[in-house]
A and B are shown apart, each in its own frame.
Chain A
Amino acid sequence: MSEKKRRFGRRKVCRFCADPTLVIDYKNPQMLKSFVTIRGKIIPRRITGTCARHQRELTTAIKRSRMVALMPFTSVD
């Protein structure tokens, strides 16, 4: 069955593995913004292609960022 499964598009690569200079930092909401939806929810890694390790770091960073009001917990706009 698995041979029948077809992949669409190209394989996603973890952005942070591809570019080691990118640092995950809760003080940089600008960068974290691309990993949350418009509503402010964290995007799952199956969508973004981030690897497990970096997704974990991202999650804590986003949550910290929310605590200091640099990122919204939720927003409608």
Chain B
Amino acid sequence: MKIVLKRLKKRNKISYISFCIIIFLYSVAFFADFIAPYPYNKQFREYPLCPPTRIHFFDHNKNFHLRPFVYEIKLVNPALNQYEVIKNKIYPVYFFVKGEKRKILGIFTSERYLFGTKQGKIFLFGTDIHGRDIFSRILYGARISLSIGVIGVSISFVLGFLIGGISGYFGGKIDNLLMRLVEIFMMFPSFYLMLALRAVFPLNLSSFQIYILIVVILSLIGWAGLARIIRGMVLSIKEEEYVLAAKALGLSTFKIIFRHIIPNTSSYTITAITLSIPGYILGESALSLLGLGIQEPYPSWGNMLSVSVGNLRILSTAPWMLIPGFFIFLTIICFNFLGDGLRDVLDPKNW
């Protein structure tokens, strides 16, 4: 692993940077409880659609403050959501500030958070219609959006490897049967299949059940195409001489498939894995966008975006509502670069 990273750093700077960003995003999502200044469902009714709070070092008298501070903000026109900055009320920003008690990672409680103000409010990315802090919600939403890709990909890759591998290696009737099954899955346009599968299940599920459901639905759609490609690769790799040599060494069929054939598809599959994670993130977003995914008040990048995209007025007056979209974009592009880089680096012939 270390060697791979070293090579990645040396040979492909962009994918190394992407890798760092991905790691950063995942760790931020992991520590969301601690980093987020507010809980994801905390509503500040007096601050709906508040623009991002600016952090200052110089006050209006041009005096420098070592500790950054924010001004008090006040809603002046509730109809148009216009805010005014009150310049004589200064609230410094503290690290490890005390706040409401919250559970961290569901294990221990803490009342200190990474940053915040003692009085006043700090909304780094603004607030939504209900006055919830978008920055905090993005952190919590990252948990769902980022994990759905990884879990979904692992399920559909296990399925794809298993079915594609068996189908390609044994051939004949098994191959025929499994490939017809794959075709059934590939026959439907994936988006409608996704909707249809979602429609089969009731709407009033708990958020965790919905999360599991979405993962399963997404991976059920994803495995078919993959199994097809794995089968094709296995068909050609099983004729390779080293497979014959492995047979002559008396290795079991299982070992031959999973140690000699499947790893040799890795140049393709590693790229495919990293390239298909964005598909899952987008799939979740698409479901959430239609209100079929993660339900409010639980945030995911997709359902946060859906509120803003559904309302043209919000789009024009509160563009910060689109920030979750930027994070989706960032994640996807990073995974794409990482996939490209890994393909180069992981092939021993390139070392």
Binding partners A and B = no
**Which A residues contact B (CB, under 8 angstroms)?**
none
